[in-house]
Structure 1
């Protein structure tokens, strides 16, 4: 439904996930900004990222694909980096590489206090229908599973940095 988002309240089109990490923001930011790190944690357990390309700069493109538990390649997805504030904020578009697929905008913030970081992922969907589809398919749970893996990676990175 073209133009639907214009009349739909933003709050009805968003999903917010937060997680606290025992790691500094700079390490978490690095885990979001380098493909070799993203491949180790992004997405739910059982759906590894098997392709990841990143031009990590404002205006740069990114794309990724996961492989399912049975070895089947999932539909690639990606978008563009819209805003990057080192160690504080990353804003990017994201959507499946399918004709006519709607894009969502994801804002990731890193709020560090005393060596701990509160990471917030705010996903603004193009429409309420797109939100319902993604949430109904388990997006919040998938994000949570990925963040569990990010916690493991952050702990490893923190050890290496010590």
Structure 2
């Protein structure tokens, strides 16, 4: 973790074939650019993930949206 700019984690639920996910945050024109990379250990591991990985990504961003709303309301209410 690099505070305020970078998160990296290993997705262990995939076993040895799980990807390493890196998310970076960068300020661009008063907004935040979020870039997400997933590195799979092999093409076979990527193929095995199939569309489930894409579906999970949607859920992940929904959770991030909820967190940002909660954090925004707690900051605004201070």
Query: Which TM-score bucket, shorter chain as reference?
Result: 0.7 to 0.9
Aligned equivalents of 2:14, 2:61: Cα separation in 1: 24
Choose the corresponding residue for 1:141, options 44, 55, 58: 55
Deviation at residue 124 of structure 1 after TM alignment? 0.3
Aligned equivalents of 2:47, 2:61: Cα separation in 1: 21
Deviation at residue 97 of structure 1 after TM alignment? 7.2
Identify unmatched segments of 5+ residues in structure 2.
Answer: none
Aligned equivalents of 2:12, 2:47: Cα separation in 1: 15
Aligned equivalents of 2:63, 2:13: Cα separation in 1: 23
Choose the corresponding residue for 1:120, options 8, 29, 35: 35
Where does residue 25 of structure 2 map in the other structure?
110
RMSD: 1.9
Where does residue 94 of structure 1 map in the other structure?
11
Check 1:138–1:102 CA distance in 2 against 1; reply closer, same or farther (3 A cut).
Answer: closer
Aligned equivalents of 2:56, 2:9: Cα separation in 1: 18
Choose the corresponding residue for 1:151, options 58, 62, 65: 65
Check 1:90–1:144 CA distance in 2 against 1; reply closer, same or farther (3 A cut).
Answer: same
Q: Superposed, which structure 2 residues align to 1:2-13 within 5 Å? A: none
Q: Superposed, which structure 2 residues align to 1:18-97 within 5 Å? A: 84-96=1-13
